[in-house]
Structure 1
């Protein structure tokens, strides 16, 4: 099952993405092999994850989160701390 995740970048910005393997994807981000956005803002840290039932649901959740204002994203990070998705 896929995960929606949020990374905090060096400049304090937040990056939202989806993956089926959180630890592999975070490693790709940390080594500059995942996206141009995070490559320019290294290092990144995993701040939040949520497992969802389907890829379709992951895309919808990613879109919903990306549409949030910054303060709403920060509130989301504080209401649900990072799940132990990295070890799954």
Structure 2
């Protein structure tokens, strides 16, 4: 597969008006965030604006792996997610080491 045809999945965190964080995955984070803002994204974010894209990280071209990372992030406490946003923690600190290794073995 040529590099131009590679679809890279990313994981992202969006902050809602209530200060809650929403976690999702996408191949185009900015496009997906704009969908959320316009009300055409996830039902969980409808009417919860203003929304702020707080953090995102590219993962790999494997959707399954991106879904695993998304699930792992959703299991974390809000304080861990906040530390990730602030750069106090890296993604490698937050998810299982074997999952993190799998991301970079596919890159």
Structures share a fold, TM > 0.5?
A: yes
Matches within 5 A, 1:38-57: 38-53=45-60, 54-57=62-65
In the alignment, the residues of structure 1 paired with residue 9 and residue 56 of structure 2 have an alpha-carbon distance, to the nearest angstrom, of 10
1:69 to 2:64 alignment = no
Please point out which of 9, 24, 29 is paired with 1:17: 24
May I ask how many residue pairs the two structures share in their alignment?
A: 80
Higher fraction of helix: 2
Structure 2: which 5+ residue stretches go unaligned?
Answer: 1-7, 89-107
Higher RCO, Cα 8 Å, sep 6+: 1
Which consecutive segments of 4 or more residues in structure 1 shift more than 3 A? none
The equivalent residue for 2:68 is 60
Distance apart, 1:69 and its partner CA: 0.7
Q: CA RMSD in A?
A: 1.1
Match of residue 33 from structure 1: 40
Work out the CA distance in 1 between the residues paired with 2:47 and 2:32.
16
Quote how far apart the aligned CAs of 1:40 are. 2.5
What secondary structure sits across from 1:52 in the alignment? strand
Name stretches of at least 5 consecutive residues in structure 1 with no aligned partner: 81-88
From the CA coordinates, give the structure whose radius of gyration is larger: 2
Aligned partners of 2:30 and 2:64: how far apart in 1?
Answer: 21
